[in-house]
Structure 1
Amino acid sequence: MQQKRERLAITMGDPAGIGTEIIIKALSKERVYNSSIPIVVGDYEALSDAIHFCGLDLALNEITSPEEARGELGIIDFINLGYLTKESWEYKKNSTLCGDAAFHYVIYAIQLAMDCKVDAVITAPINKESINMAGHFYSGHTEIFAEYTGTSKYAMLLASKNLRVIHVSTHVSLREACERVKKARVLEVIELAEQGVKMLGIEKPKIGVAGLNPHCSENGLFGKEEANEILPAIEEAKRKGINVTGPESPDTVFVKCAGGQFDIVVAMYHDQGHIPLKLSGFRYDADNNGFESVSGINCTIGLPIIRVSVDHGTAFGKAGEGRANEESMLDAIGAGVLMAQNRRRNA
């Protein structure tokens, strides 16, 4: 019996960036259509332009509802929100127009998922400056999804080929990030880590928790957050039956995870988790001034819907040139399919 194909809403991201390009490149691959029916939420003009400058033999099929999608290789099903006209935007530049368009692509896709018309939402990168220029005051996708789904307990989970991390805090100053390391939040993220890894197909996750301070504070020499906030959260999680270890020294816990001792690391703040993850999934070629590999995904755990994103930004420096790498978009599509399948299986 043929496996059900998951219906995915793929938001186009900021039209001035590489989002449209990596989407059409990903949707030119046969493997995408073996497990999914992808539907782009965006604008005809940007999709048409990307197909042209990438030199791809693809047709566009405009639809008004996900049920109309054909899901055929060589034909991109899309919902046209009509924010752009021909030559109304410019690649590589922040603008109110692109910020507003990118924001509304996301809102539209969220509603499709909330109405159960799609099984997951896959997001191409938005530009934070542009959406704020347009009057939408969010620090990123995560916060938009949380507000428009009415979610109060959520966390950002990143995954590459051999490493997964989830964050206690993300888009705040480092000073504020330290202040957010509290027992209740650390416990919450440990629980979300278990939930997220199970959605990615690991039935009995092993969770490592990073400390905040160097060497986990050396028994209080460099701080007290480990003793006062992180360790009590870990002990409570253990009482709830979660397989969790820590706090582990931040300079070794990610190496242990990449080596298989843990399935995921709870990081205390944005860069603590992002830096090792991108070292794991990105490869930069200085001779060619570009990335040879840009793999990995970013998903928001705790939502009533599935949201997976690429693990990179809008890359204005190469937008509109046809040289963007679609690897992370393919990873995100694959993860969205896997999470949808596992959510249905576990429902």
Structure 2
Amino acid sequence: MNVNDFDFDLPEELIAQTPLKDRAASKLMVIDRDKGSVENKQFPSVVDYLNPGDCLVLNNTKVLPARLLGEKEETKGKVEMLLLHQTGEDEWEALVKPAKKIKVGTRVSFGDGLLTAECTEIRDQGLRIVKFEYDGIFLEVLDQLGEMPLPPYIKEQLDDRDRYQTVYAKEVGSAAAPTAGLHFTDEILERIRAKGIKIAYLTLHVGLGTFRPVQVDDVEEHDMHSEFYQLDQETADLLNDVKQNGNSVVAVGTTSVRTLETIARDEQGKFKGSSGWTDIFIYPPYRFQAIDAMITNFHLPKSTLIMLVSAFASKELILRAYEEAVRDRYRFFSFGDAMIIL
């Protein structure tokens, strides 16, 4: 399967640069796989497509202000560092620019020395292992100096960093937001509970894969970067009960989908409390074992994410829906509009 099979024309002005003032004010495209139909709604109507006894699964990861701007101590050359995940005590894997200038032993200063990093290992594709030195608590220092790691297609400054967090964000460690969840407000979540729909949480810390394009022609040759996930046993039991009772597991975001499918694949279609690293790559054809519906945003052309939703709904239906979204001036990507696939 060729990566160009998942391409589509997207006018640049449809790439949402800023979040809407009201989280829930976005459009909602409703895709019915059985009917092959596409409808246009507003996001608050998502509640109408969930039934009592169903379970909505949310990724409660919390984005680190993981983008650091500093300078080399020796030359004062500018350095940008994106923290991806912790590898040891005060030690992190980071994506560094310009990577060629950062060798083992290179020291980088942030905030006039409030935080310093020394490169201890060189990895491929611009990755480095760095060891930090600081006074106090690392996350507090990072909160003071770091910026939200917005995707490269967003050129505007983010005035309120909380708008790149879900209202239920809890577990710190992500390099990007699980953006399908950005549409939910406390009010909508309360309406969902009041209708008799269960809400469950898992954690997947979004990592480097979010920032890496597919650079091969043959989809099957693409290597996914591993990301850390966690699901507790109480939630696993709840999901098993939902399935056994004939109700639907509705995943919010591709991160939730990938976590649930990783676990169900390893447990022959069942859920079990577990944690670890997943590099699952879902593309057509794929037999889903965990989820019955998903809520997601509109994704980049030729990306692993549009491949995932194409595996769930069929490539033809998804590309037709995307064409309609372009015609109807939907907002795309992280701060854009949403779809629910039933």
> TM-score band (shorter)?
under 0.3
Structure holding more strand per residue: 2
Structure holding more helix per residue: 1
Per the normalisation by structure 2, the TM-score is 0.26
